[in-house]
């Protein structure tokens, strides 16, 4: 079966600088956390094999630079992504505000086949901290308004919800991937010889 081949899912994590994109990825893949902040330069990825609905898939998780000065990722980087993970810091309202532009940026750059149904997942990180500023309700409202994207409140530090969130990410990414497969089974387009059509048009009496 065509869909039973080895699957590689490309997942891209986006969000403002310092919201914990790298930490989330590290927590998920390596089960490690450090309080030290180190800015990501460009992009970096880790892979992890996961079981989704009895299928073994390889997740390639791309961690990106949140700081503008390190962003030089072109169209090619975003192309072929299967899922996009948006991250904000629940103690930083500006990071929540930026979500819209991260999402737009991604859609423009990746230009997915079906932008309306492309899988996004929203993560509100750092819920372990006391000084929370983005209410859960507000984040949920936003996620709901964007085609009901799943929302998880996570803590990369405590490992809260990280596993669940990435499981959902893998699942949604896989759904997207299989959909693309279906698309690919059809040829790109059927070329009708324009000349022959013209001839028919001419002959047609209507």
Partner 1 sequence: MTTLTTSASATSLESSNKLVCSSGNNVYEMCGLISGLPLHIECMTGYDDFVIVGSKEGHLLIYKITFRNQAKLHADIEITLSNKNFTTAIGTTATRKSVIQLDVIPEHKILIALTTEGISTHDLSMYHCKCISSIDGTKGASIFALNIQRQMSLTGGPSITVRMCVAINRSLQFYYWKNRSFFPLRDDLAIPDCPRALAWCKEVIVLGFKNEYCEIDMLSGKQKDVCSRSSKYGEPIITPVSPTEYAAVNDKHCFLFKLTNKSEVKKSQQEATEEKNMKEKNPVITWTEHPISLVYDEPYFIGVLGGFGMEVRTYKPKLKIDLFNIAQAKLACSPKSGFIYVASHDSLWALKSTPVVAQMDLFVKQNHFELALGLANIWKEVPSEKQKKITQIKNLFAFYLFCNRKYKEAMTIFMELGTDASHVIGLYPGLLPQEFRLQIDYPGVVPELRGVDIDGAMANLIMFLTNSRTVLLGNSSQTVTESASIVEGATIIKSKKQLLQIIDTTLLKCYLQSKESLVASLLRLKDNHCHIDETERALIKHKKFNELIILYQTKGNHRKALETLLKQNDTDGVIEYLQKLGREEMDLILEFAKYIFEENPEKGLKIFTEDLQEVDQLSRPRVFDFISKNFPRSKIGYLEHIINVWDEKNSLFHNALVNEYLDKYMEETEPSLKTKFLETLRLFLQKSQYYSPEIVLVHFPYECMFEERAMVLERMGRHDQVLAIYVTVLKDPRKAMEYCKMIYEKSDVSKKEVFSVLMKMLLSGPTPVSLPGLSLELSPHVSDIPSVMMLLKDYAPYLDPIQVLSCLPDEVQLSDIQKFLMTSVQNRLSEKRKYLIQKGLIKAEFLRASGEKSGVEAERFYLDESTPCAMCNKKIASQNAFVRYPDGFVLHFHCQPGEVTLDENLMDQ
Residues that bind partner 1 (CB under 8 A): 72, 74-76, 93, 100-101, 103-105, 107-109, 111, 115-116, 137-138, 188-192, 194
Query: Is 44 or 104 the residue whose CB approaches partner 1 more closely?
Result: 104
Please tell me the distance from the alpha carbon of residue 10 to that of residue 153, in angstroms, as a whole number.
22
CB of 121 to partner 1, least distance (A): 18
Query: Is 34 or 135 the residue whose CB approaches partner 1 more closely?
Result: 135
Query: Is 191 or 203 the residue whose CB approaches partner 1 more closely?
Result: 191
CB of 136 to partner 1, least distance (A): 12
Cβ 42 vs Cβ 69: under 8 Å: no
CB of 60 to partner 1, least distance (A): 19
CB of 32 to partner 1, least distance (A): 31
Residue 15 neighbours by CB under 8 Å, 6+ apart = 21, 66, 86, 87, 88, 95, 98, 99, 102
Query: Is 31 or 200 the residue whose CB approaches partner 1 more closely?
Result: 200
CB of 169 to partner 1, least distance (A): 21
| Axis-axis angle for helices 162-184, 21-30 (nearest 10) | 90
Order of strands, sheet of 7-15, starting from the edge strand that comes earlier in the sequence: 43-52, 55-64, 7-15, 83-89, 120-125, 151-153
Please tell me the distance from the alpha carbon of residue 44 to that of residue 34, in angstroms, as a whole number.
17
Query: Is 51 or 75 the residue whose CB approaches partner 1 more closely?
Result: 75
């Amino acid at each position: 079966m065509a869909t039973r081949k080895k699957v590689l899912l490309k997942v891209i994590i986006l969000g403002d600088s310092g919201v914990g994109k790298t930490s989330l990825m590290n927590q998920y893949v390596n089960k490690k956390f450090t309080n030290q902040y180190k800015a990501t330069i460009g992009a970096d990825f880790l892979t992890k094999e996961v079981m989704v609905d009895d299928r073994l898939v390889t997740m390639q998780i791309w961690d990106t630079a949140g700081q503008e000065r390190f962003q030089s990722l072109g169209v090619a980087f975003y192309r072929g992504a299967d899922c996009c993970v948006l991250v904000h810091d629940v103690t930083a309202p500006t990071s929540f505000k930026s979500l819209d532009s991260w999402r737009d940026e991604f859609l423009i750059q990746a230009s997915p086949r079906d932008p309306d149904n492309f899988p996004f997942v929203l993560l509100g990180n750092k819920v372990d901290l006391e000084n929370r500023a983005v209410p859960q309700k507000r984040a949920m409202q936003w996620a709901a308004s964007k085609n009901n994207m799943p929302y998880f409140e996570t803590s990369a530090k405590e490992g809260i919800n990280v596993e669940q969130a990435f499981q959902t990410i893998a699942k949604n990414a896989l759904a997207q991937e299989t959909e693309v497969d279906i698309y690919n089974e059809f040829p790109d387009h059927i070329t009708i010889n324009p000349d022959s059509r013209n001839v028919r048009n001419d002959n047609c009496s209507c």
